[in-house]
Amino acid sequence: MSKKIKILAISSPGGHWIQLNKICNQLEGQFDVVYATPGAHYKSSAKEGGRKIYTITDASADSKLNLIPVTLQILSILIRERPNTIISTGAAPGVMAILLCKFLPIKTIWVDSIANVKVLSRSGKMVKNHADLVVTQWQELSDNKNIFYRGSVL
């Protein structure tokens, strides 16, 4: 029996998490999906659904010092889980995961938030040259070279 491809789905809490779940709900039967997010309350709800969720430190542009522990936590998850692919809807935890994977044989997918209508998000701009695939949810933001439109999540 062949082993399922493993995906690490990582995002910030709130809207990023909601969008990530909408994407990954469709992937769970076909792939082995493991999650990482800041938010212990998500972990308790995951036990009911049988999901494996790692709780990581929250980090953002406003809490730059938290980027150190979150980066180490993500590295630990990457070593433990050995995913084939990472998918993120943002923000800081996803950026850190994609930047770490630049040095590892792990494919990366960035799905920019639907909230960014006129320009790519700050996080999206940071990863657009590092992620293997960058997807926007607004057709107007696609250039079909580096940033692709494949529809919206919500």
Count of domains observed in the chain: 1
Position 10: which residue type? I
Whether 1 maps to a domain, the answer reads no
Our CA dihedral for 27, 139, 96, 57, rounded to 10 degrees, sits at -70
Whether 139 maps to a domain, the answer reads yes
Which residue range is the domain that position 34 belongs to? 6-149
Whether 61 maps to a domain, the answer reads yes
Report pLDDT digits (tens) over 106-134: 999 999 998 889 999 999 999 999 999 99
pTM of the model: 0.92
Whether 129 maps to a domain, the answer reads yes
Check which CATH number belongs to the domain holding 48 and give it: 3.40.50.2000
- Those residues of the chain that have pLDDT short of 50 are none
Whether 154 maps to a domain, the answer reads no
Two tokens, residue 121: 């998000």
**Given CA atoms 145, 14, 12, 34 in this order, what sign does their dihedral have?**
negative
